[in-house]
Chains A and B, each alone.
Chain A
Amino acid sequence: AQTVTQSQPEMSVQEAETVTLSCTYDTSESDYYLFWYKQPPSRQMILVIRQEAYKQQNATENRFSVNFQKAAKSFSLKISDSQLGDAAMYFCASNYGQNFVFGPGTRLSVLP
């Protein structure tokens, strides 16, 4: 079965600093996508960034970037210049066929 693991239940970062959230996954698929979702207190699930497994280049979206290590099945999220609005739960996810598998989440606090 597909699994996604996030080993950091909670993280904190000082405003304007950089933080990295870890994610590892296990898949038997040869082609797949990886995702990071953000869930603020409003509980809306928001896509932060997407990576296609066959692409070597790491995805970036403004202050958000990933470090995708396919052989190690690792997919970490780096948030640069952290802002108070980045405080949220962050979920790593992978698609498994037509399905999506989510990790347990990392709660990120941003300290002023």
Chain B
Amino acid sequence: DAGVIQSPRHEVTEMGQEVTLRCKPISGHNSLFWYRQTMMRGLELLIYFNNNVPIDDSGMPEDRFSAKMPNASFSTLKIQPSEPRDSAVYFCASSLWGGPNTEAFFGQGTRLTVV
């Protein structure tokens, strides 16, 4: 398996623009997580899905952020409009809840810079 795949690896955008981050989880995994990492706040959980259903979105900073998982193999995190304070590394991770080796497998992350 290729692991968790995120795109793009890097994104530079202007303030006010819409940004969409994409994630393909590991095939067969039933849980998907979006994290944001910054120097100041560390690794923050934004939202997670189980069987494509959002379970906890309490970490989503504000209404400018939205996440979808239309099927088991794809998820998006959208920021509209983007602001400079959204600059961070965004990670997607997946896991097989209930499996013998429950752990989170991470993608390479997307470094977002909003100027």
Pairwise interchain contact A98-B48, C-beta atoms closer than 8 A: yes
**Which among B33, B89, B103, B109 has the greatest number of chain A C-beta atoms within 10 A?**
B103
Pairwise interchain contact A99-B45, C-beta atoms closer than 8 A: yes
Q: Give how many B residues have a beta carbon under 8 Å from the other chain's beta carbons.
A: 24
- B35-77: which residues lie under 8 A (CB-CB) from chain A? 35, 42-43, 45, 48, 50, 55-56
Could you tell me the distance between the alpha carbons of A100 and B93 in the complex, rounded to whole angstroms?
10
A/B pair count, beta carbons within 8 Å: 46
| A2 smallest CB distance to B (angstroms) | 11
Given contact pairs A43-B108, A43-B109, A98-B50, A105 touches B42 in the complex (Cβ within 8 A): yes
Is the contact region of chain A dominated by helix, strand, or loop, or is it mixed? Answer: strand
Of B101, B102, B108, B111, which contacts A44 at CB under 8 A? Answer: B108
**Which among B43, B108, B111 has the greatest number of chain A C-beta atoms within 10 A?**
B43
- A1-54: which residues lie under 8 A (CB-CB) from chain B? 33, 35, 43-45, 47, 50
| A84 smallest CB distance to B (angstroms) | 22
Pairwise interchain contact B103-A98, C-beta atoms closer than 8 A: no
Please list the residues of chain B having a beta carbon within 8 angstroms of any beta carbon in chain A: 31, 33, 35, 42-43, 45, 48, 50, 55-56, 89, 91, 93, 95, 97, 101-106, 108-109, 111
